[in-house]
Amino acid sequence: MHPLTELIRNDMKPALGVTEPGAIAFAVSTAASYLTGDIREVTLRMNSGMYKNAFTCGIPNSSHYGNLYSAALGVVAGKPELGLESLRDVTEEDNRKAENLVAQNRVHAEMSEISSRIHIEATVQTESGTATVKIRDSHTNILWVEVNGEVVFGQKEGCRAEAPEAPEETEGEAVPLIHRYTLREMLEYVETVPAEEIAFIRDAFAMNMELFQKGMDSDRTPYLHYLLEANGDALFSENESATASLLCNGAIESRVIGLDAPAMSITGSGAHGIIATMPLYGVAKIRGLSETELCRATALSYLICMYIKEYSGRLSAFCGCAIAAGSGMACGLVFMNGGGVSEMDKCLRNMASSITGMICDGGNHGCAMKGIAACDAAFRSADLAMAGISIEDIHGINGKTPEETMRNMGRIASPGMVGTEKTIVEIMSEK
């Protein structure tokens, strides 16, 4: 199996609701699994990205939002063996128990650091004792578990509560796998990898469409129903961009309000996974393209998203959904249109010069609006690139190569927007 195939396969994961509430519930429920007896207190310490992204985020199987209720439901009903879907089986009785915990001020959440690097430290105290779970770098990557002062999993030595922003790559440091490839090499892989090797990508379309259908049946998805009407009340019309925006942002809206169906995530985010796949799925259905052609375009979309995210960090002050996943999807459109590296280079420069800098103010209903902007920019950037039109590399943050452009896009987030992240969190906390 090609290393890039393994990279994609390992990164694709189902995520129920927005990833951050799922990660909080996973951390808390893991800690609780080591204890017995009534819950006395739950305490969360998180990096700014985690704290912000879950701040007003919808929770699956609940009418509640945010960090406190994610933690409360995690300790009451979370199933850690389900990973990011740990809240899959929440009941109304569980919601009532979580409400009581929050009302009694037994659940606390605080920000530990301004950082794009994922950090969750969840402590649960019950009648039987105390357990703490430390997660770092990805949403389910447990570094250690401590129960009543004894480390029962992992190793605490060398683990710092504070962490630097994503460092510059220097000689002697490990280079992320994705950064060892140029855009040309990624395209060569996409064009030549055996179809059966990437057939698993089809699972993303099926899962994300099920989530979209949940939104179709809900009266809590006004953006979806507006976009449906704008598309002639059809799921698939002759208007590719309108169809793409409907499928993409209908699924995103369904996810951020907490409807009970998972999205297929990429780079740790369901919304990234949706933007990277659903517009391409819509175009493929309209044009009658084969599943293999669609999977090849989506593989490219995923890889470019990963390339940018390795620079920006998984959780940052800019909207990686629109910028990283949107840029990947735009290059997937160029691929479907028969374009090559030159056109993709132009497309990336158009994306870099337009929506880079769009802020992330958490996983919330606003993600649907950001997704609409990303779809519009991607289709326009791809069309312009196919016509040979782009912002030249001498302008703005564009690079002389597509790799430089993608690197610069990521650098805008980290370290570029650390101060922005602090201001966003301050504004949200004041509310």
Of the pLDDT bands very low, low, confident and very high (cuts 50, 70, 90), residue 157 is low
The verdict on 394 and 286 lying in the same domain is: yes
Q: Do 391 and 247 reside in the same domain of the chain?
A: yes
In a domain, 265, yes or no: yes
Query: 29: Cβ–Cβ under 8 A, 6 or more apart, which residues?
Result: 74, 75, 77, 78, 79, 80, 86
Residues whose CB is less than 8 angstroms from the CB of residue 41 and which lie 6 or more positions away in sequence, other chains included:
106, 107, 108, 123, 124, 125
Q: Tell me the CA distances in angstroms from 233 to 216, 242, 342, 372, one per residue in order.
A: 11, 11, 37, 17
Q: What CATH number is associated with residue 46?
A: 3.30.1330
Residue 6 lies in a domain: no
Residue 168 lies in a domain: no
Per-residue pLDDT reduced to its tens digit, 296-341: 999 999 999 999 999 998 788 899 999 999 999 999 999 999 999 9
pLDDT at 267 over 70: yes
Tell whether 2 is covered by a domain: no
Q: Does 107 share its domain with 190?
A: no
Domain identity same for 115 and 229:
no
Look at the chain and count its residues. Answer: 431
132 belongs to a structural domain: yes
Residue 313, domain CATH:
1.10.4100.10
Please check whether residues 274 and 201 belong to one and the same domain. Answer: yes
Decide if 161 is inside a domain. no
**Cα Rg for the chain, rounded, in angstroms?**
21
- 152: helix, strand or coil: strand
Do 66 and 112 have their domain in common? yes
Same domain, 276 and 320: yes
Q: Are residues 325 and 421 in the same domain?
A: yes
**pTM score, whole prediction:** 0.86
Q: Tell me whether residue 187 is in a domain.
A: yes
**Do 48 and 241 touch, CB atoms closer than 8 A?**
no
pLDDT, tens digit, for every residue of 333-361? 999 999 999 999 999 999 999 999 999 99
Residues 223 and 331 in one domain: yes
Concatenated DSSP letters of 87-150: TTT--HHHHHHHHHHHHTT-EEEEEEE--SS-EEEEEEEETTEEEEEEEESSTT-EEEEEETTE
Tell me how many domains the chain contains: 2
Residue 423 to residue 3: CA distance in whole angstroms: 39
242 in the same domain as 105: no
Cα 389 vs. chain centroid, distance in angstroms?
A: 30
Lowest mean pLDDT, pick from 106-115, 172-181, 286-295, 359-368:
172-181
Residue-number span of the structural domain to which 231 is assigned:
177-430
Q: Average pLDDT, stretch 34-47?
A: 97
